[in-house]
Amino acid sequence: MAEPWARRFPGVRILIVEDNAVLADGLTRSLRAGGYAVDASRTGEEAIVSIDADAHDLVILDLGLPGMHGFDVLKHVRARHHGIPVLILSARDGIEDRVTGLDLGADDYMVKPFNLRELEARVRALIRRGQTGSPALITQGPISFDMAGRRASLDGETVDLSVRELGVLEILLLQAGRVVSKERMVEHLCDWASEVSPNAIEVYVHRLRKKLEPAGVRIRTIRGLGYLLEAQG
């Protein structure tokens, strides 16, 4: 079962860049158990391909990678993806490495070995920081979505939604008035190992409709394009 803190961030996707397979697998399992979507790359080159191709909300980056150095990966992220938080997780504990990493744009720096609970707390803090550009409360007609508490309500009454349903609703509300494609929903709700199919998106939308439409919140299907949320009120 996901930890309560993780339910606050449905749809959050994390990339772990770590060449130590045992450590990478352990981190991946731990964060997935917390409710995050997690991908892993073993080299800097793989990481850059993933960062450029997929939408990630946080990068956990080792420095001592085979081939491309972690600092070069960080430079690429800051040059092309300014808003993605980067947490360096490295065995290099020298002050010069820390200063260099932070000067190059890392948001945090942890030294191995590390405490898993502390890592999880720093992950939460960085994700919150990355989401500060979003409004704390989204309101469309009778529906309100609390971004901090991860709760949806209709006319003040809390609606019981699953983590996936919350993720779909959040995307629709943030893009209210615009069509959201299934592909974009899939991108925000899944990782490489636990894929969400377009058919699954249809199921989540169907469930949302049953819970929201009686209050005047409509999710329209725009054939060939995606979904559009309309709220009367």
Q: Which residue has the tokens 């725009």?
A: 222
User: Would residue 116 be called left, alpha or beta, if left means φ above 0 and alpha means ψ between -120 and 50 degrees?
Assistant: alpha
d(CA 190, CA 10): 10
Q: What are phi and psi of 183, to 5 degrees?
A: -60, -40
Side-chain-side CA neighbours of 229 within 13 Å: the count stands at 22
Given a cut of 70, whether residue 210 has pLDDT beyond it is yes
Confidence of residue 65 (pLDDT cuts 50, 70, 90): very high
Q: How confident is the model over 9-59, as pLDDT tens digits?
A: 446 789 999 999 999 999 999 888 877 888 999 999 999 998 888 778 899
Give the mean pLDDT of the chain: 83
Residue 159 in contact with residue 211, Cβ under 8 Å?
yes
List domains and CATH numbers for the chain.
4-130 (3.40.50.2300), 137-231 (1.10.10.10)
User: For 208-217, what is the mean pLDDT?
Assistant: 92
d(CA 21, CA 40): 10
pTM over 0.75: no
Confidence of residue 109 (pLDDT cuts 50, 70, 90): very high
Q: How confident is the model over 116-165, as pLDDT tens digits?
A: 888 888 888 888 776 555 555 778 889 988 765 678 899 888 999 887 88
Q: Beta strands of 121-222 (E only): which ranges?
A: 137-140, 143-146, 151-154, 157-159, 217-222
Positive or negative torsion for Cα 224, 226, 232, 233: negative
Side-chain-side CA neighbours of 174 within 13 Å: the count stands at 18
